[in-house]
Copies of this chain bind each other. A is one copy, B any other.
Amino acid sequence: MSTGHTHKTARLPRITEMAHQLLAERVKAGDTVIDATAGNGYDTLFLAELVGDTGRVHAYDVQNSAIQATESRLSSAGYSDRVELHHASHTAIAESDEPIQAAIFNLGYLPGSDKHIITQADSTLEAVQAALSRLISGGMVLLVVYVGHAGGEQEAEALECYMRTLSTRDYLVLKYEYINPDNRPPYILAVEKK
Contact = CB atoms under 8 A, between A and B. Distances in A.
The DSSP consensus for interface residues of chain A is: loop
A102 B179 CA distance: 20
Interface in A59-114: none
A180 to B, nearest CB: 4
A175 B176 CA distance: 6
Contacts of A22: 10
A159 to B, nearest CB: 11
A179 B163 contact: yes
Given A8-B28, A192-B12, A176 B174 contact: yes
Contact size range, A? 35 or more
A138 interface: yes
Contacts of A192: 11-12
A12 B18 CA distance: 12
Contact of A180 (B12, B21, B167): B167
B138 A11 contact: yes
For A9, A11, A25, A182, which residue has the most chain B Cβ atoms within 10 angstroms? A25
Contacts of A10: 22, 25-26
A128 B79 CA distance: 50
Nearest to A160: B179
A164 to B, nearest CB: 5
Interface in A1-47: 1-5, 8-12, 21-22, 24-28
Interface of A: 1-5, 8-12, 21-22, 24-28, 138, 160, 163-168, 171-182, 189-190, 192
